[in-house]
Amino acid sequence: MSSIKRTPGGAEGRCRTVEHQGLVWTVATGPGDTVAEQTKTTLSMIEASLLEAGTDKHHILEAVVYLRDMATKQEMDAVWCAWIPDDGWPCRACVGADLAPGDLVEIKLMAAKEA
């Protein structure tokens, strides 16, 4: 029996969360017309996934933010920095990527669960 727990998501071929040995990985994209709107809805979805998995945004270890256009990084950062707790800055990278049609932002992260 596998010790990996997978929570199905809405997109075929991927899980919303994966849990293993006290760690949680999650990924999301959200609706919106602007990078700020998509970042806000994506982070809301991520927060819900983390809570469901038994952790929260205070325990994020690593994040990768994919942006369709790196020129929008400052717009995304404004939302991200308001969402992340002051004592919880994770290791984060931003990458320019050719995202799915309509997606301006995609965020993937890893968080620790409480012991």
Q: Which domains does the chain have, with CATH numbers?
A: 5-112 (3.30.1330.40)
- What are the tens digits of pLDDT across the range 75-109? 999 999 999 998 889 999 999 999 999 999 999 99
Cβ neighbourhood burial of 107 (10 Å; 0-12, 13-18, 19+): buried
CA distance 49 to 7: 9
- What are the tens digits of pLDDT across the range 16-74? 999 999 999 999 999 999 999 999 999 999 999 999 999 999 999 999 999 999 999 99
Kindly report the pTM of this predicted structure.
0.93
